[in-house]
């Protein structure tokens, strides 16, 4: 369990840093039940009282002693550990690294055990044999089976959609199916990565090569998780580059016979032991009530996992550091969770939810950053209309960094179980037009990150979390 918060974080002065300005209360009594409810009539006035403390947080993060700290922490971490795929030794080392680093930062840290998938890529290669020899850059997809040791050599069928595959089903038997689907959006196009193997297997295909789910490529394959359908033969599946998918499409349109040899050593091992990493500043008045911030600590086994999601993890740590450094302690507990095995479908987060949902009524707000830490644009929010009115006032405090916009639909794999159960949720909307250029590829490195953008994300994350955690009342459901 978490240790008690260190005494220096709390005193009467800190407790009263923010003036609570109440215009008036309306007292309501339900005649039928005798229940007494206090309705705060002017939430805008209460939230506006946090303007000074919000500015202190922003100044510390953007201009003060904490400037560029989240970036430096991320660089130190990713340079030391590298990528951190579920079940790997690197992920185990990453959890130990963060536990020690956040403990040294003076925060209360503990680990909560979970079981996670352990898929291993192994050696892999692909080459076009006909109509000419060419090496193909590939990345096998998570959960994929491997090929026989000698590989699979077969003629290729190139299609651009599931519908085309169905129309040409008789041609798929005994072939490697190449999907050259256009990129529309990640949410729509990712279906080919997720389900392409099983859809092709239904038609008798031997393997699938799927155009990487990205709008931009410099011959860079992108990996990710894929799902086999129950009762369907499992065939090997990998992503190829946009360039090679389009090349084979053009060849097929000319009527040329395409032959590819694919070799993959992928295998799935028994589930591994791992941990969600939890760090807290305990609330002074309602320690049982929680505002949760989060990012995921695991990544894919390529690049450094700096953008996805090292940055989200670091700003979720940095938010607590900023609040601690200012000697602030909110009414409710601030809890940062660094999830494990998000890339395999939010595995660690689902087990956290299963363990803690018994206390669901005490979760005030759940927050997740998992779409990069580029320049922040807005806060995305899911909750009741009454809660949205509160959050609209909270984001006004971010005027000094020009991020006062509140958008609909908080999102995040790891917080989705909570939001589906009715807990308010928030996510960070950043200038993410380049996010899927680097996503799940060797290009996800520290070179993608910008220290000033991370300062702004940290400031936003800390202000929102602190103010919501310190308001007189929890967000209305």
* Two tokens, residue 380: 């995305």
**Do strands 425-430 and 363-368 pair parallel, antiparallel, or not at all (unpaired)?**
parallel
C-alpha to C-alpha distance for 425 and 280, rounded to whole angstroms: 19
CB 420 within 8 A of CB 339: no
Q: How many CB atoms lie within 10 A of CB 386?
A: 11
Give one DSSP letter per residue of 127-196, joined into a string. EEEESS-EEE-EEEPBT-----TT-EEEEEEEESSHHHHHHTHHHHTTSEEEE-PPPS-HHHHHHHHHHH
**DSSP output for 413-466:** TTTHHHHHTT--EEEEEE--TTHHHHTTSTT-SGGG--HHHHHHHHHHHHHHHH
Residues 471 and 333: their CA atoms lie apart, in Å, by 12
* Per-residue buried b or exposed e for 169-178, using 16+ beta carbons within 10 Å of the residue's own CB: eebbeebbbb
Tokens of 40: 């705060």
Give catalytic status of residue 46 as yes or no: no
Q: Return the structure tokens found at 131.
A: 């109509």
User: Can you tell me whether residue 474 is helix, strand or coil?
Assistant: coil
Those residues with Cβ within 8 angstroms of residue 108's Cβ, 6 or more apart along the chain or in another chain: 2, 3, 4, 5, 6, 279, 280, 281, 282
Tokens 């996510």 appear where? 427
Contact 14, 327 (CB under 8 A): yes
> Cβ distance 316 to 239 under 8 Å?
no
Here the contacts of 190-195 (C-beta below 8 Å, separation 24 or greater) are 190/224, 191/162, 192/162, 193/141, 193/224, 193/226, 193/239, 194/224, 194/225, 194/226, 194/227, 195/162, 195/226, 195/227, 195/229
Q: What is the DSSP letter of 225?
A: B
Annotated catalytic residue within 46, 280, 318, 342 = 342
Read off the tokens for 41. Answer: 């009539």
Cβ 172 vs Cβ 235: under 8 Å = no
- Residues with catalytic annotation? 342
């Amino acid at each position: 369990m978490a240790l008690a918060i260190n005494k220096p974080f709390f005193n009467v002065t800190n407790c009263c840093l923010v003036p609570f300005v109440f215009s008036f209360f309306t007292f309501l009594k339900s005649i039928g039940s005798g229940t007494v409810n206090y309705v705060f009539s002017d939430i805008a006035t209460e939230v506006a009282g946090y303007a000074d403390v919000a500015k202190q947080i922003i100044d510390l993060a953007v201009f003060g002693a904490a400037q560029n700290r989240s970036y430096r922490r991320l660089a130190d971490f990713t340079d030391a550990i590298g990528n951190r795929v579920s079940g790997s030794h690197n992920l185990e080392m990453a959890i130990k690294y963060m536990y020690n680093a956040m403990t040294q930062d003076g925060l209360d840290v503990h680990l909560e055990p979970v079981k996670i998938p352990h898929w291993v890529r192994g050696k892999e290669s692909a080459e076009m044999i006909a109509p000419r020899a060419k090496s193909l850059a590939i990345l096998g997809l998570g959960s994929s089976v491997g090929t026989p040791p000698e590989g699979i050599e077969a003629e290729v069928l190139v299609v651009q959609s599931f519908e085309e595959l169905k129309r040409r089903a008789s041609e798929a038997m005994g072939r490697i199916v190449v999907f050259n689907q256009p990129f529309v959006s990640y949410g729509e196009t990712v279906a080919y990565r997720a389900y392409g193997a099983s859809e092709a297997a239904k038609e008798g295909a031997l393997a699938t090569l799927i155009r990487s789910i990205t709008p931009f490529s410099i011959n860079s394959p992108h990996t990710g998780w894929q799902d086999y359908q129950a009762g369907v033969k499992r065939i090997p599946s990998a992503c190829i580059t946009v360039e090679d998918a389009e090349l084979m499409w053009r060849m097929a349109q000319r009527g040329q016979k395409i032959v590819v040899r694919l070799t993959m050593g992928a295998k799935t091992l028994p589930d591994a032991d791992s941990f969600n990493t939890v760090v807290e500043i305990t609330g002074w008045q309602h320690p049982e009530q929680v505002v949760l911030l989060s990012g995921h600590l695991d990544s894919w086994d390529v690049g450094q996992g700096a953008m996805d999601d090292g940055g989200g993890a670091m700003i979720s740590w940095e938010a607590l550091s900023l609040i601690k450094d200012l000697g602030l302690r909110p009414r409710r507990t601030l809890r940062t969770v660094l999830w494990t095995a998000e890339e395999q479908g939010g595995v660690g987060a689902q087990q956290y939810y299963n363990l803690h949902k018994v206390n669901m009524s005490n979760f005030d707000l759940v927050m997740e950053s998992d779409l990069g830490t580029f320049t922040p644009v807005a806060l995305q929010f899911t909750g009741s209309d009454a809660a949205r009115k509160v959050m609209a006032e909270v984001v006004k405090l971010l005027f000094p960094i020009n991020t006062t916009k509140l958008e609909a639909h908080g999102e995040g794999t790891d917080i989705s179980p909570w939001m589906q159960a009715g807990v308010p949720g928030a996510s960070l909307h950043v200038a993410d037009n380049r996010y899927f250029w680097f996503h799940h590829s060797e290009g996800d490195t520290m070179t993608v990150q910008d220290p000033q953008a991370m300062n702004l994300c940290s400031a936003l994350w800390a202000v929102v979390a602190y103010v919501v955690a310190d308001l007189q009342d929890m967000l209305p459901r």
